[in-house]
Amino acid sequence: MTPDVLIWSLSGTVALFIVGGYFLSFRRRDRADRLRIAEAQELGIHKPSMLFPYVDPSICIGCGGCVKACPEKDVLGLVGGLAVVVNGARCIGIGQCEKACPVGAIELAVGDLKGRADVPVMSENLETTVPGLYIAGELGGLALVRNAVDQGRRAVEAIAREIAAEPRPVHGSAPDLLIIGAGPAGLSAALAAHEHGLRFLVVEQQQDLGGTIYQYPRRKLTHTQPVLLPQYGPLKKDEYTKEELLEIFEEVVETYRLPIEYGQRVMAVESICDNPEEPPLLQVSTATKKFSARRVLLAMGRRGTPRKLGVPGEHLEKVLYQVRDAEQYRRLRILCVGGGDSAVEAAMGLARQPGNEVSLSYRREKIFRIKSKNSLALERLTSQGRITQYLPSQIVEIRPDSVILEHQGNVREIPNDFVFVMVGGELPFPLLRQAKVKFWDEVTGDPSAFLPRQPPSSRTSPEKPAPLANLN
């Protein structure tokens, strides 16, 4: 065999091993991701609920960088050499996949809103179908501090432009803006209103700042991504603890002397100016006061009142609906109820305390609507015997020293000191429906027909109607 033939033979063998190895790896990964898609479809989590990574198949080169970059790890996969959405419902909108794509084939988009009974129709400026009533943050369907801060700022910038175009004497001494909620969206809106010189007031149903964040357990990490808080400046870190964010919020309230009235639970919002040719005026009623304003921004989150189980014994003092400080619960027998991140994080935090016996009850056979890192941690703690999972199960009765569970068709009694019920909240949508805000499940045809008409004196020109909600 001549040297040339030997060299070509060796080169061909090496190439064959490389190509063959890649092909086998490609087939294994493709098969695994197809199985993941089938499982996601069976569980009903393949469709995006709001934000999701849209992959342009004409640009994608199938490098897999987006799959590796996703902090949830299982939102994306590779099928047929292209990136695809596997578990759309698990996307939390961090956007790392978009940054990681070397060819710009990915962008965050909003899922199909048609038929959604939990998402209000909004314009690009976040105005609802009620003139002068705006929504920012979780109530509009998007999670994450970054989205809340951005939407609070965007809504107020649009409001400031409208107010500037209106004659001042209209509606007399009514303030320009009433902001409902002192969480990330509300405080961002308040800072933007202060920056634009608007007359405004913030009302908050709790006695503390932070909105949903205030309800988080101690030291819970919150994703923010780099975001610009009006007047304060950038929040540069990717993650903040609950305490760090609340400290920042308290600082901006004190620095800019933001007017906030605490303990004001909003009961109703109604328009008191029905002439479409005049600027809107709205009235907000709380349990003790009435406020009028030229614009109202709802930045109140989606948690609402904790949802109850409706079982005997739920009135007992041992039944709680949130864990703010897991460290105060030690050497106790604890049951957490729910299948979302809140219930799982509470169970894991309590399981890490000395001497606790922690159980987790969920009505389905599998917990699947949680972050991937929570799923991995839950599996680890379960395998270590620190958490006992009862899947599927239903609480039948809560007793002073025990809980009666129906587990896999059998009724059993387990010893218990505390029950943490985390099965969601009664969403504040009755307030929106009372205010006559339309939701996507109520809209047919062209949704822009349901949005407020634009008076020539103040808003987008009549020749160019406001586009529909760009929620990104």
Mean pLDDT of 380-397: 95
Across the beta sheet with 266-271, the strand order is 266-271, 282-286, 290-293
Query: Which has the minimum average pLDDT: 6-15, 118-127, 324-333?
Result: 6-15
Q: Which residues in the chain are classed under CATH 3.30.70.20?
A: 28-110
Q: How confident is the model at residue 49 (pLDDT cuts 50, 70, 90)?
A: low
Confidence (pLDDT) at 114 = 59
Confidence (pLDDT) at 411 = 95
Confidence (pLDDT) at 395 = 96
Query: Which has the minimum average pLDDT: 228-237, 410-419, 428-437?
Result: 228-237
Mean pLDDT of 184-192: 93
Residue 354 has pLDDT above 90, yes or no: yes
CB 93 within 8 A of CB 147: yes
| Highest averaged pLDDT of the listed ranges 10-14, 59-63, 397-401, 465-469 | 397-401
Residue 110 has pLDDT above 60, yes or no: yes
Q: How confident is the model at residue 303 (pLDDT cuts 50, 70, 90)?
A: low
Mean pLDDT of 270-293: 86
Question: Which residue did the predictor score with more confidence, 69 or 454?
Answer: 69
Mean pLDDT of 162-190: 86
| Highest averaged pLDDT of the listed ranges 165-174, 310-319, 425-434 | 310-319
Mean pLDDT over all residues of the chain? 82
CATH number of 133-304+427-450: 3.50.50.60
- Cα separation, 394 vs 396, in Å, equals 6
Confidence (pLDDT) at 316 = 94
What is the architecture of the domain spanning 308-424? 3-Layer(bba) Sandwich (3.50)
Q: Which residues in the chain are classed under CATH 3.50.50.60?
A: 133-304+427-450, 308-424
Share of the chain above pLDDT 70, in %: 81
Question: Which residue did the predictor score with more confidence, 163 or 9?
Answer: 163
Mean pLDDT of 327-352: 92
Confidence (pLDDT) at 454 = 55
Structure tokens, 115: 């038929």
Residue 179 has pLDDT above 90, yes or no: yes
Residue 464 has pLDDT above 60, yes or no: no
Confidence (pLDDT) at 84 = 86
Mean pLDDT of 379-389: 95
Question: Which residue did the predictor score with more confidence, 24 or 433?
Answer: 433
CATH number of 28-110: 3.30.70.20
